[in-house]
Amino acid sequence: MQFDNPKTVFTKVLKLGSLLIAAIAVLGSGIGFLAAGLPGLLGALVGAVVALIFVSLTALSVLFGGKLSLGGFYAVVLGGWLLKVVLFIGVIAVLQQVDGLNRVAIFATLVASVLGSLAVDALVVTKARIPVVS
Q: What is the pLDDT of residues 109-130, one digit of tens each?
A: 999 999 999 999 899 988 888 7
Q: Write the pLDDT tens digit of every residue in 77-92.
A: 999 999 999 999 999 9
- Nearest 5°: the CA angle 7, 88, 68 is 30
DSSP 125: H
pLDDT at 1: 43
Average per-residue pLDDT in the chain? 91
Closest CA to 41 of 115, 1, 100: 100
Torsion angle, alpha carbons of 30, 31, 37, 39, to 10 = -90
**Mean pLDDT in residue range 67-71:** 90
Confidence of residue 75 (pLDDT cuts 50, 70, 90): very high
* Contact call for residues 33 and 104 (beta carbons, < 8 A): no
* Contact call for residues 54 and 84 (beta carbons, < 8 A): yes
